Amino acid sequence: MDISKYFSVKGLTVFILAMFLLGCGEKSKGPEPLGSLQTYTDPTTSFKVQYPGNWKELQKESGRRFMAFPGKDASDAFRKVYAMPGEINNSAAQIAVFLQPTRGRILDSIVLDNMTDMISDSLYTEKRRTTIAGLPAYRLRYRYNLKDGLYEGEKYIVVKDTAYATVLEFSAFSDSYSFYKPTFDNIAKNFIPASNPIEKKPDTVVQNAEAAPPSLTSRVVNGTGFSISVPDNFNGVKTQNAGTIYSVSFQGDRLDCTIQVDVIDASKQKNLSKIVEDNKKAYGAAAASKTTLGGVEAYYMNYSFGGNVQSRVYFAIKGDKMFRVTMNYFIPKQDVYKPVFEKSITTFRML
Protein backbone atom coordinates (compact mmCIF):
# COMPACT_ATOMS: atom_id res chain seq x y z
CA MET A 1 0.00 0.00 0.00
CA ASP A 2 1.41 3.37 -0.96
CA ILE A 3 1.40 5.77 1.96
CA SER A 4 2.27 9.47 2.13
CA LYS A 5 2.19 14.20 6.06
CA TYR A 6 -0.71 17.40 7.29
CA PHE A 7 -0.36 16.12 9.62
CA SER A 8 -2.07 16.90 9.67
CA VAL A 9 -2.36 19.12 10.31
CA LYS A 10 -1.84 15.45 11.14
CA GLY A 11 0.52 15.64 13.89
CA LEU A 12 4.30 15.06 14.18
CA THR A 13 4.28 11.36 13.35
CA VAL A 14 6.17 11.27 10.05
CA PHE A 15 9.81 10.27 9.70
CA ILE A 16 12.14 9.69 6.76
CA LEU A 17 13.13 6.20 5.71
CA ALA A 18 16.55 6.32 7.38
CA MET A 19 14.84 6.10 10.74
CA PHE A 20 14.34 2.40 10.19
CA LEU A 21 18.08 1.79 10.43
CA LEU A 22 19.03 0.88 13.96
CA GLY A 23 22.40 1.74 15.42
CA CYS A 24 24.32 1.79 18.62
CA GLY A 25 24.21 4.90 20.70
CA GLU A 26 24.11 6.36 24.13
CA LYS A 27 20.72 6.29 25.83
CA SER A 28 19.32 9.62 26.88
CA LYS A 29 18.01 10.55 30.28
CA GLY A 30 14.63 9.29 31.43
CA PRO A 31 11.41 11.32 31.59
CA GLU A 32 10.81 13.88 34.31
CA PRO A 33 7.95 13.46 36.83
CA LEU A 34 4.60 14.87 35.68
CA GLY A 35 2.85 17.73 37.44
CA SER A 36 -0.86 18.07 38.18
CA LEU A 37 -3.05 18.46 35.11
CA GLN A 38 -4.12 21.84 33.79
CA THR A 39 -6.78 22.45 31.11
CA TYR A 40 -6.48 24.40 27.86
CA THR A 41 -9.73 25.55 26.21
CA ASP A 42 -9.59 26.68 22.59
CA PRO A 43 -11.34 30.07 22.34
CA THR A 44 -12.60 29.45 18.79
CA THR A 45 -13.89 25.86 18.80
CA SER A 46 -14.09 25.14 22.55
CA PHE A 47 -12.07 21.92 22.49
CA LYS A 48 -10.63 21.15 25.92
CA VAL A 49 -7.44 19.21 26.58
CA GLN A 50 -5.45 18.61 29.73
CA TYR A 51 -1.67 18.72 30.06
CA PRO A 52 0.84 18.46 32.93
CA GLY A 53 1.16 21.78 34.69
CA ASN A 54 4.95 21.54 34.73
CA TRP A 55 5.15 21.24 30.92
CA LYS A 56 6.31 24.71 29.99
CA GLU A 57 6.54 24.63 26.19
CA LEU A 58 3.02 25.36 24.93
CA GLN A 59 2.27 26.16 21.30
CA LYS A 60 -1.21 27.51 20.57
CA GLU A 61 -3.05 28.59 17.44
CA SER A 62 -6.70 29.32 18.11
CA GLY A 63 -9.05 27.25 16.00
CA ARG A 64 -6.12 25.24 14.59
CA ARG A 65 -3.95 23.42 17.10
CA PHE A 66 -2.50 23.08 20.58
CA MET A 67 0.78 21.36 21.47
CA ALA A 68 2.40 20.77 24.85
CA PHE A 69 5.95 19.58 25.58
CA PRO A 70 7.90 19.20 28.84
CA GLY A 71 10.23 21.98 27.67
CA LYS A 72 11.82 23.60 24.64
CA ASP A 73 14.45 20.87 24.43
CA ALA A 74 11.64 18.33 23.99
CA SER A 75 10.01 20.43 21.27
CA ASP A 76 13.38 20.73 19.53
CA ALA A 77 13.88 16.96 19.73
CA PHE A 78 10.74 16.38 17.66
CA ARG A 79 11.94 18.87 15.06
CA LYS A 80 15.51 17.61 14.89
CA VAL A 81 14.63 13.98 14.43
CA TYR A 82 12.91 14.74 11.12
CA ALA A 83 15.96 16.45 9.66
CA MET A 84 18.70 14.45 11.42
CA PRO A 85 17.38 10.97 12.29
CA GLY A 86 20.83 9.74 13.34
CA GLU A 87 21.02 12.11 16.29
CA ILE A 88 20.34 10.94 19.83
CA ASN A 89 17.09 12.33 21.23
CA ASN A 90 16.02 12.75 24.79
CA SER A 91 12.95 11.01 26.21
CA ALA A 92 10.75 13.79 24.84
CA ALA A 93 6.97 13.52 24.75
CA GLN A 94 4.15 15.59 23.35
CA ILE A 95 0.42 16.12 23.67
CA ALA A 96 -1.12 17.64 20.55
CA VAL A 97 -4.53 18.58 19.21
CA PHE A 98 -4.98 19.31 15.51
CA LEU A 99 -8.17 20.41 13.77
CA GLN A 100 -8.74 19.20 10.23
CA PRO A 101 -11.54 20.59 8.02
CA THR A 102 -13.93 17.74 7.21
CA ARG A 103 -14.74 19.04 3.69
CA GLY A 104 -17.64 16.60 3.50
CA ARG A 105 -15.58 13.54 4.48
CA ILE A 106 -16.99 10.92 6.82
CA LEU A 107 -15.01 9.75 9.84
CA ASP A 108 -13.67 6.61 8.14
CA SER A 109 -12.24 8.64 5.25
CA ILE A 110 -10.62 11.09 7.63
CA VAL A 111 -8.97 8.20 9.49
CA LEU A 112 -7.55 6.80 6.24
CA ASP A 113 -6.17 10.23 5.32
CA ASN A 114 -4.48 10.41 8.72
CA MET A 115 -2.86 7.06 8.13
CA THR A 116 -1.14 8.53 5.06
CA ASP A 117 1.19 10.29 7.48
CA MET A 118 3.22 7.09 7.70
CA ILE A 119 5.60 5.57 5.19
CA SER A 120 3.85 2.21 5.59
CA ASP A 121 0.57 1.21 7.18
CA SER A 122 2.49 -1.66 8.84
CA LEU A 123 3.79 0.88 11.36
CA TYR A 124 0.31 1.03 12.83
CA THR A 125 -0.09 -1.70 15.42
CA GLU A 126 -3.77 -1.01 16.04
CA LYS A 127 -6.76 0.66 14.44
CA ARG A 128 -9.93 0.29 16.47
CA ARG A 129 -13.23 1.97 17.13
CA THR A 130 -13.66 3.72 20.45
CA THR A 131 -15.49 6.75 21.87
CA ILE A 132 -14.36 10.22 22.85
CA ALA A 133 -16.73 12.34 24.94
CA GLY A 134 -19.45 9.79 24.09
CA LEU A 135 -18.92 10.25 20.34
CA PRO A 136 -17.81 7.59 17.82
CA ALA A 137 -14.06 7.77 17.32
CA TYR A 138 -11.04 5.79 16.17
CA ARG A 139 -7.81 5.08 18.01
CA LEU A 140 -4.65 4.50 15.98
CA ARG A 141 -1.50 3.16 17.62
CA TYR A 142 1.94 3.20 16.01
CA ARG A 143 5.48 2.29 17.00
CA TYR A 144 8.87 1.95 15.37
CA ASN A 145 12.54 1.95 16.27
CA LEU A 146 14.87 4.91 16.21
CA LYS A 147 18.54 4.92 17.14
CA ASP A 148 17.71 6.00 20.67
CA GLY A 149 15.00 3.38 21.26
CA LEU A 150 11.33 2.83 20.56
CA TYR A 151 9.12 5.69 19.38
CA GLU A 152 5.42 5.18 20.19
CA GLY A 153 2.25 7.15 19.78
CA GLU A 154 -1.53 7.14 19.66
CA LYS A 155 -4.03 9.20 17.70
CA TYR A 156 -7.69 9.62 18.64
CA ILE A 157 -9.82 10.93 15.77
CA VAL A 158 -13.35 12.19 16.33
CA VAL A 159 -15.93 14.42 14.62
CA LYS A 160 -18.33 16.32 16.87
CA ASP A 161 -19.94 18.83 14.48
CA THR A 162 -19.70 19.39 10.74
CA ALA A 163 -16.73 21.74 10.33
CA TYR A 164 -13.76 19.93 11.84
CA ALA A 165 -12.35 16.55 12.73
CA THR A 166 -10.38 16.68 15.96
CA VAL A 167 -7.15 14.70 16.23
CA LEU A 168 -5.77 14.15 19.74
CA GLU A 169 -2.24 12.77 19.60
CA PHE A 170 0.23 11.50 22.20
CA SER A 171 3.77 10.37 21.44
CA ALA A 172 7.10 9.79 23.16
CA PHE A 173 10.69 8.84 22.31
CA SER A 174 13.26 6.53 23.86
CA ASP A 175 11.12 3.65 25.19
CA SER A 176 9.38 6.12 27.50
CA TYR A 177 5.74 5.82 26.32
CA SER A 178 4.81 3.37 29.09
CA PHE A 179 5.81 6.01 31.65
CA TYR A 180 3.43 8.58 30.15
CA LYS A 181 0.60 6.24 29.14
CA PRO A 182 -1.48 6.33 32.38
CA THR A 183 -1.55 10.14 32.19
CA PHE A 184 -2.26 10.11 28.45
CA ASP A 185 -5.16 7.68 28.98
CA ASN A 186 -6.62 9.94 31.65
CA ILE A 187 -6.33 12.98 29.36
CA ALA A 188 -8.13 11.08 26.56
CA LYS A 189 -11.00 10.20 28.91
CA ASN A 190 -11.54 13.87 29.78
CA PHE A 191 -10.97 15.31 26.31
CA ILE A 192 -13.68 17.48 24.72
CA PRO A 193 -13.46 17.66 20.89
CA ALA A 194 -13.92 20.78 18.78
CA SER A 195 -17.34 22.25 18.02
CA ASN A 196 -18.19 24.36 14.99
CA PRO A 197 -16.69 27.84 15.41
CA ILE A 198 -19.12 30.31 16.92
CA GLU A 199 -20.16 32.94 14.37
CA LYS A 200 -19.54 36.42 15.67
CA LYS A 201 -22.36 38.78 14.74
CA PRO A 202 -21.71 42.36 15.80
CA ASP A 203 -25.17 43.95 15.50
CA THR A 204 -26.74 42.32 12.42
CA VAL A 205 -23.60 42.07 10.26
CA VAL A 206 -22.01 38.64 9.93
CA GLN A 207 -18.23 38.75 9.74
CA ASN A 208 -16.87 36.10 7.37
CA ALA A 209 -13.64 34.55 8.59
CA GLU A 210 -10.61 34.96 6.36
CA ALA A 211 -8.99 31.72 5.24
CA ALA A 212 -6.04 30.95 7.49
CA PRO A 213 -2.68 31.61 5.81
CA PRO A 214 -0.10 28.83 5.55
CA SER A 215 1.65 28.33 8.87
CA LEU A 216 5.28 29.44 9.07
CA THR A 217 5.91 26.30 11.11
CA SER A 218 6.47 23.27 8.92
CA ARG A 219 6.33 19.50 9.34
CA VAL A 220 8.07 16.81 7.34
CA VAL A 221 5.87 14.43 5.37
CA ASN A 222 7.04 11.19 3.78
CA GLY A 223 5.52 9.62 0.70
CA THR A 224 6.39 6.92 -1.79
CA GLY A 225 10.06 7.63 -2.39
CA PHE A 226 10.10 11.24 -1.20
CA SER A 227 9.91 13.62 1.74
CA ILE A 228 8.87 17.28 1.84
CA SER A 229 8.26 19.93 4.49
CA VAL A 230 4.83 21.56 4.32
CA PRO A 231 3.01 24.09 6.52
CA ASP A 232 1.80 22.25 9.61
CA ASN A 233 -1.75 23.54 9.14
CA PHE A 234 -1.96 21.83 5.74
CA ASN A 235 -3.58 18.41 5.37
CA GLY A 236 -2.39 15.68 3.04
CA VAL A 237 -5.16 14.29 0.82
CA LYS A 238 -4.52 11.32 -1.45
CA THR A 239 -5.61 12.02 -5.00
CA GLN A 240 -5.98 9.97 -8.16
CA ASN A 241 -4.16 11.19 -11.24
CA ALA A 242 -3.98 9.14 -14.42
CA GLY A 243 -0.65 7.43 -14.98
CA THR A 244 0.70 7.95 -11.48
CA ILE A 245 1.95 5.43 -8.95
CA TYR A 246 1.05 7.73 -6.10
CA SER A 247 -0.42 11.23 -5.75
CA VAL A 248 -1.03 13.49 -2.78
CA SER A 249 -2.21 17.09 -2.43
CA PHE A 250 -1.25 19.26 0.53
CA GLN A 251 -3.84 21.94 1.18
CA GLY A 252 -5.03 24.38 3.80
CA ASP A 253 -8.23 26.42 3.93
CA ARG A 254 -7.88 27.64 0.34
CA LEU A 255 -8.33 24.81 -2.16
CA ASP A 256 -6.76 26.93 -4.90
CA CYS A 257 -3.48 27.12 -2.98
CA THR A 258 -1.90 23.66 -2.89
CA ILE A 259 1.24 21.61 -3.31
CA GLN A 260 0.75 18.46 -5.37
CA VAL A 261 3.24 15.58 -5.53
CA ASP A 262 2.87 12.87 -8.18
CA VAL A 263 5.12 9.82 -8.47
CA ILE A 264 5.27 8.29 -11.95
CA ASP A 265 6.89 5.12 -13.30
CA ALA A 266 9.99 6.14 -15.27
CA SER A 267 11.40 2.64 -15.88
CA LYS A 268 10.66 2.84 -19.63
CA GLN A 269 11.55 6.48 -20.23
CA LYS A 270 14.34 8.25 -18.34
CA ASN A 271 15.14 11.00 -20.82
CA LEU A 272 14.03 13.91 -18.66
CA SER A 273 14.54 16.63 -21.27
CA LYS A 274 12.36 14.71 -23.75
CA ILE A 275 9.64 14.16 -21.14
CA VAL A 276 9.59 17.87 -20.36
CA GLU A 277 9.56 18.83 -24.04
CA ASP A 278 6.66 16.47 -24.65
CA ASN A 279 4.72 18.05 -21.77
CA LYS A 280 5.11 21.69 -22.78
CA LYS A 281 2.02 21.68 -24.96
CA ALA A 282 -0.14 20.08 -22.27
CA TYR A 283 0.81 22.86 -19.86
CA GLY A 284 0.64 25.63 -22.43
CA ALA A 285 4.18 26.61 -21.47
CA ALA A 286 6.45 28.40 -23.91
CA ALA A 287 9.65 27.35 -22.18
CA ALA A 288 11.08 25.08 -19.51
CA SER A 289 13.93 26.15 -17.25
CA LYS A 290 16.67 23.92 -15.92
CA THR A 291 17.09 23.72 -12.14
CA THR A 292 17.60 21.13 -9.40
CA LEU A 293 15.09 19.36 -7.19
CA GLY A 294 16.26 17.38 -4.19
CA GLY A 295 19.84 17.63 -5.39
CA VAL A 296 19.25 16.15 -8.87
CA GLU A 297 18.75 17.68 -12.30
CA ALA A 298 15.25 19.00 -12.85
CA TYR A 299 13.14 21.28 -15.02
CA TYR A 300 10.27 23.59 -14.17
CA MET A 301 7.56 25.39 -16.12
CA ASN A 302 5.28 28.24 -15.10
CA TYR A 303 1.72 28.06 -16.40
CA SER A 304 -1.87 29.01 -15.66
CA PHE A 305 -5.12 27.31 -16.57
CA GLY A 306 -7.09 30.42 -15.60
CA GLY A 307 -9.29 31.14 -12.62
CA ASN A 308 -6.75 33.65 -11.28
CA VAL A 309 -4.51 30.75 -10.23
CA GLN A 310 -0.81 30.63 -11.12
CA SER A 311 1.06 27.32 -11.14
CA ARG A 312 4.59 25.98 -11.42
CA VAL A 313 5.46 22.34 -12.10
CA TYR A 314 8.81 20.60 -11.49
CA PHE A 315 10.02 17.37 -13.09
CA ALA A 316 12.88 15.22 -11.80
CA ILE A 317 13.91 11.57 -12.10
CA LYS A 318 15.65 9.32 -9.60
CA GLY A 319 15.98 5.61 -10.25
CA ASP A 320 12.83 4.27 -11.87
CA LYS A 321 10.60 7.07 -10.59
CA MET A 322 9.78 10.48 -11.95
CA PHE A 323 8.63 13.07 -9.45
CA ARG A 324 6.26 15.83 -10.57
CA VAL A 325 5.83 18.54 -7.95
CA THR A 326 3.29 21.30 -8.59
CA MET A 327 2.53 24.41 -6.59
CA ASN A 328 -0.67 26.36 -7.21
CA TYR A 329 -1.58 29.69 -5.66
CA PHE A 330 -4.34 32.30 -5.93
CA ILE A 331 -2.69 35.29 -7.61
CA PRO A 332 -4.22 37.97 -5.30
CA LYS A 333 -2.71 36.02 -2.37
CA GLN A 334 0.64 35.23 -3.97
CA ASP A 335 2.61 37.31 -1.44
CA VAL A 336 1.25 35.04 1.29
CA TYR A 337 1.50 31.64 -0.40
CA LYS A 338 4.25 31.78 -3.03
CA PRO A 339 7.26 32.30 -0.68
CA VAL A 340 6.06 29.53 1.65
CA PHE A 341 5.50 27.11 -1.24
CA GLU A 342 8.89 27.92 -2.79
CA LYS A 343 10.52 27.19 0.55
CA SER A 344 8.68 23.85 0.73
CA ILE A 345 9.94 22.93 -2.74
CA THR A 346 13.55 23.46 -1.58
CA THR A 347 13.01 20.81 1.12
CA PHE A 348 11.87 18.13 -1.34
CA ARG A 349 14.02 14.99 -1.15
CA MET A 350 13.93 11.78 -3.16
CA LEU A 351 14.63 8.78 -0.95
Average of pLDDT values for 308-317?
Answer: 93
Average of pLDDT values for 160-175?
Answer: 90
Could you tell me which residues come within 8 angstroms of residue 167 by beta carbon, excluding any fewer than 6 positions away?
8, 9, 10, 11, 96, 97, 98, 99, 100, 114, 155, 156, 157
Compute the distance between CA of residue 89 and CA of residue 81 in angstroms, rounded to an integer. Answer: 7
Tell me the sheet residues that pair with 291.
298
**pTM of the predicted model as reported, rounded to 2 decimal places:** 0.60
pLDDT of 305 > 80? The answer is no
245 — phi, psi (to 5°)? -80, -40
At 29, the amino acid letter reads: K
pLDDT in tens, 202-223: 544 444 456 789 988 888 888 8
How distant, in Å, are the alpha carbons of 72, 173, 235, 263 from that of 150?
21, 6, 26, 31
pLDDT in tens, 177-203: 999 999 999 999 999 999 988 665 554
3-state DSSP: the chain helix, strand, coil percent, rounded to 5?
20, 40, 40
Strands 226-231 and 235-238: unpaired
pLDDT at position 115: 76
37 — phi, psi (to 5°)? -80, 135
pLDDT at position 91: 67
What residue ranges define each of the domains in the chain, with the CATH number in brackets? Answer: 17-189 (3.40.1000.10), 239-350 (3.40.1000.10)
pLDDT in tens, 314-347: 999 999 999 999 999 999 999 999 999 999 999 9
Confidence of residue 104 (pLDDT cuts 50, 70, 90): confident
